Amino acid sequence: MSLGPTIALVVLSVIFLTIWLRKKFSFWKSMGLKTPPPSFFFDNMKTAFLLKNSFADRDKNIYRHLKDRNLKHGGTYFLFLPVYVPTDLEIIKSILQTDHQNFSDRGFYVNEKGDPMSAHLFSLGGPKWKILRKKLTPTFTSGKIKMMFDTLMECTVDLKRVMDDNMESSVNIKDILARFTTDIIGSCAFGLNCNSLEDKNSEFRDKAQDIFHRDFQENIKQVLLYAFPELMKFLNVKMIHRDVSEFFRDVVKHTVDYREKNDVYRKDFMHLLIQLKNNGKLLDDEKLIANNIIDQSTITMDELAAQAFIFFIAGFETSSSAMSFCLYELATNKDIQDKVREEILQTLKAHGNKLNYDAVGEMKYLDKVLSETLRKYPPLSSLYRSCTKDYQIPGTDIVLRKGMRVMIPTYGIHHDPEYYPDPDKFDPERFSDENREKIPDFAYLPFGIGPRICIGMRFGILQTKVGLITLLSNYQFSVSGKTTVPLKFDPESLTISTKGDLWLDYKKYHPSSRVL
């Protein structure tokens, strides 16, 4: 049998593939925009498929490549998809705020019928997102969050008990705080005692870990969901494992059924969602209804479950990571740790040695410390948007076509010495009243900005501060020799998280005004 036809077919295939790839990867050049060299593309593949690099390192490298060449923007590729990368803050402002209507979608996978848990506020776009956002916004006002404060405080009792029980050894603070926030969000979002602090193998904790950490097979699926959402929707692919999705949906359904049948009232997020399911509004929304700010249509059980789910996964991982990074930095910078502890103890003393909602708001230095933590370690390395209609970048001839992806490199911006001198240094004074004014608009994006800013930002900050107050008022921290320094980011995590455990040594703090 002659090999001639086979060889000819292979050669032709290689030629056509080469032509096709050249065309795909010349897109930004044809648009007049610079792109990182081919090595960046292979680094991207290592991040996307092989889990060799973290998203933060990848995104910072792309940002620095463009910024070091004084470029206001550039392009990169995700698989074969062109992704627009702005570095100029005015362009970023246009995308996130001024011309938000052109970028109201994130471009993430949503399959309301085949995978209802994917249809949550974070991923939804278009009119559906707009309607749901208006309905949910009143559930995250300061008053509603204050209502949940006592529920949140109940979880600090177990946190302190676990810390006291481990006094003789170093503690993996990353694990402890992930269990702490799992209990908080489980209580506030589902009205359940997850018992994660007492039981390391609690089902809630196990299911939560399954969502955020990727193996090779799961990673391939997530890459394809982002790159080809419509195809994946046609194939009815599930965003998360079926057993995880069914677990959370069953928990929500059972909780709602029990509360409705037994007329149970609890000061938590679930209670507010049940009101939206049954009434289409919260009980104190009459003024908003009268002003036509929101309509009175109800939400379905699937919609309720999806929102409780995203509140859970967005709240437990990001807050626990923020607390872990913060305590690591305070353990490394003892003077800052002493200063913030002094403020905490003085403020608590002024409130009768009892932590309450108002006392948290009075701790201004703690706010600086947390702001600097979120500057240095933002929850997500980038913000993603999808162009909803053709858009010309202001001041340029560049036109982004409908459906094109945009990546705003948060981590790169947060580590840009132009905005934050000596960016690797942990310096809370960057966020003093005087210095905060020097930070340019849109150079600080830990929760996003504009209409799609994180709706749960206030609650996330509150639970993070309460956890830090509980720990710093009772213990002194130092870095354990078991912690790998400098810290590295976990390439298997979708959020910015440490690779491996984060161990801290600690001991009791014994002031005369000891509290909590």
- Annotated binding residues for heme, as ranges? 454
The neighbour count for residue 309, using CB atoms within 10 Å, is 25
The SS3 assignment for 109 reads: coil
**Which residue do the tokens 């009119």 mark?**
127
User: Residues near 333 by Cβ (< 8 Å), separated by ≥ 6?
Assistant: 426
Strands 405-408 and 81-86, how do they pair? parallel
Strands (E), 73-231: 73-78, 81-86, 171-172
8 A C-beta contact, residue 368 and residue 432:
yes
User: Residues near 23 by Cβ (< 8 Å), separated by ≥ 6?
Assistant: none
AA letter at 368: K
Nearest alpha carbon to residue 367 among 317, 375, 412: 375
- Annotated binding residues, as ranges? 454
How far is Cα 214 from Cα 50, in angstroms, rounded to an integer? 10
The neighbour count for residue 449, using CB atoms within 10 Å, is 19
How is the beta sheet containing 81-86 ordered, strand by strand? 73-78, 81-86, 405-408, 383-386
How far is Cα 235 from Cα 247, in angstroms, rounded to an integer? 22
How far is Cα 261 from Cα 369, in angstroms, rounded to an integer? 45
Residue 67 β-bridge partners: none
8 A C-beta contact, residue 367 and residue 374:
no
**Which residue do the tokens 């029980």 mark?**
165
Instruction: Return the axis-axis angle of helices 457-472 and 364-376, rounded to nearest 10°.
Output: 110
How far is Cα 16 from Cα 8, in angstroms, rounded to an integer? 12
The H or E element that residue 506 is part of is strand 503-508
How far is Cα 392 from Cα 155, in angstroms, rounded to an integer? 50
AA letter at 469: I
8 A C-beta contact, residue 288 and residue 294:
yes
How far is Cα 165 from Cα 508, in angstroms, rounded to an integer? 12
